[in-house]
Structure 1
Amino acid sequence: MTEGLRPAAPACGPFAYVTLVTNADFALGAKALVRSLQVTATPAEICVLHTGGVGAAALAPLADLGARLVEIDLLPTSDAFNAAHARDRIHGLAPFTKGEKPAFHTPLDNFCKLRLWQLDYERVVFLDADTLVLRNIDRLFHYPEFCAAPNVYESLGDFHRMNSGVFTARPNPETFYRMLARLDAPGAFWRRTDQSFLQEFFPDWHGLPVFDNMLQYVWFNLPDLWSWADIRVLHFQYEKPWQDHAKADRLRPLIELWRAHERGEDIPDPATLPGPAA
């Protein structure tokens, strides 16, 4: 295994769904994600990258569900890079006026997902730990690198920006080291952290349908776009479904769906759920 990665077990097959867990909150999110993937009956391995900031108790449910755990080091970025991407500076330069980032969000941790290019798989589909997979998406393993959906949650103007909560990748150490060189170049600043970086690194990124990464704010901002019958991945951007937050009442049906997956029982067929207009 490449330097900076310590797997708990060898890989089981060439394809894997990969997520990143950097604290106990995201470990809870990953628990629901892993269960949602298992409901789709995918044969692909489910791999959880985790940093040293995640305790054994938080990781145990993921191991019990059969996920492959791979401990990773933070990226070897410079002090200047780390200072430029510190939480207070990032949030100060670009305040979140549309939603609230949770207190456990650490922007610098986002770059750790680049470690997946070091993994021992042929093809990977990355999923943020705050997503749920509602229908089988194994077709994405046969898509090229790099595919991602646009960051649509408010208007058509969102389509020019990529959202890195779901994407396709082909692990390759050479790609990883080219990324490191580009990432921490003198004076580098990535305003949207890994999303800005990946969009520049893959300027010809292939666009996935929004239904492969449906952001939760579409529920109340663009209700005509919402279609339970078509949504394959639901992404809880900003506020998380395991938190108490100001938008919880507006997002209650989505939160209840997440809770069912987290419990692992009474999981409804999404196609039977009422839409936002109801």
Structure 2
Amino acid sequence: MFTDFKVKSYCKGATVVGKSLRRHGTTRETVVMVTPNISEATRTSLWRAFDRVVLVDALDSGDGVRLALLGRPELGVTFTKIHCWTLTEYSKGVFLDADTLVLCNVDELFDREELSAAPDPGWPDCFNSGVFVFRPSLETHGRLVEHALRQGSFDGGDQGLLNSFFSRWSVENIDRHLPFVYNLSSSSLYSYRPAFTRFGHDAKIVHFLGSVKPWNQSRGGSGSDFLSLWWDEYQREIIPYLQIHIYHLFYFLLKYFPLQVTVATETAAPVVTDPDPESLARRSRWESGQVDYLGRDAFKNIQAMLDRFLGDRK
């Protein structure tokens, strides 16, 4: 299983994909591709979710005119995903975008051939490139790069490129049309709701299409129940890890910078008083592992406290 991780803000999504694959018992090796702009710390965190983290060069279409038709200027960099064809140590792969969520074991996709994909909800004669089965090949990779340089992409992103390259997908072999449940759009279109009501419960992979991703929305935000499922996965697998590290940081603060209040006067030496009851209660909650990681104890707030502390010491 392969996923691409091109922009740092997609870290949460990529990690959820990897964790959801593992939780549903995939027997296949999982690989995430990252570009050089991703920090070492972030790459290290991705090792927790994937068997391998592979560094690849970024590819950008630079096609602002066609990307403007989508209203998604950031999607030029999705050309990077064609590097999955260079992973020739594998005989076959299933590519998943970082904004997907796996809902069950999907290892049966490896029974499919290149290029197997589900139809795109916006233009069903084209496949959606968020989930597809492929065979790694340096020859195919070279032809894709040449095709990108010669013809570009009709939408400025990877989907237009891949659909023009695999141009006979819609008519050549119906066996390479994945059922829509392998790439179910989380959004609704005209006439979509009745079909979703009938077939949506069979969903295997959900794809959060569009510019607003689950990690940009609150759990209670607008959208389908799949948003809640994404946050379930995130909180189940990611938050405990973050909580441990925030706890260690805060424990360091408690140990070396105790919660004390110093009152200075003109006539007496500084007096150290006991923390107020709320500070003591908060410390107790931290020491018992009850961290308000989405509120007062969010990492950004701890960082701000550290900055204030260090600023006072200058």
Deviation at 1:220, TM superposition (A): 8.4
Residue number in structure 1 paired with 2:141 = 176
Residue number in structure 2 paired with 1:162 = 127
- Superposition pairs of residues 1-278 of structure 1, within 5 angstroms: 17-75=1-59, 82-83=61-62, 85-86=63-64, 89-92=65-68, 94-96=69-71, 101=72, 106-119=74-87, 120-152=89-121, 158-185=123-150, 188-205=152-169, 206-218=176-188, 222-226=192-196, 227-238=199-210, 239-244=212-217, 249-251=221-223, 253-264=225-236
- Taking a change above 3 Å as real, the CA distance of residues 24 and 74 of structure 1, as seen in their structure-2 partners, is closer
Unaligned runs of 5+ in 1: 1-16, 266-278
- Taking a change above 3 Å as real, the CA distance of residues 95 and 44 of structure 1, as seen in their structure-2 partners, is closer
In the alignment, the residues of structure 2 paired with residue 178 and residue 219 of structure 1 have an alpha-carbon distance, to the nearest angstrom, of: 35
> Would you say how many aligned residue pairs link Structure 1 and Structure 2?
228
* Deviation per residue, 1:92-113 (Å, 9 max, x gap): 3x044xxxx5xxx722210111
- Taking a change above 3 Å as real, the CA distance of residues 128 and 221 of structure 1, as seen in their structure-2 partners, is farther
In the alignment, the residues of structure 2 paired with residue 228 and residue 189 of structure 1 have an alpha-carbon distance, to the nearest angstrom, of: 31
- Taking a change above 3 Å as real, the CA distance of residues 145 and 50 of structure 1, as seen in their structure-2 partners, is same
In the alignment, the residues of structure 1 paired with residue 34 and residue 19 of structure 2 have an alpha-carbon distance, to the nearest angstrom, of: 18
* Deviation per residue, 1:52-97 (Å, 9 max, x gap): 121223222220234310000124x8xxxx44x24xx3443x044x
Deviation at 1:130, TM superposition (A): 0.3
Q: Does the CA-based 8 Å contact 1:27-1:59 persist in structure 2? A: no
Q: Secondary structure at the match of 1:65?
A: coil
Deviation at 1:256, TM superposition (A): 1.5
* Deviation per residue, 1:10-34 (Å, 9 max, x gap): xxxxxxx000001221111011111
Give % identity.
29
With a CA cutoff of 8 Å and minimum separation of 6, indicate the structure with the bigger relative contact order.
Answer: 1
Across the aligned residues of Structure 1 and Structure 2, the Cα RMSD in angstroms comes to 2.5
Unaligned runs of 5+ in 2: 170-175, 238-314
Q: Which range moves more in the overlay, 235-244 or 54-63?
A: 54-63
Runs of 4+ aligned structure 1 residues displaced above 4 Å come to: none
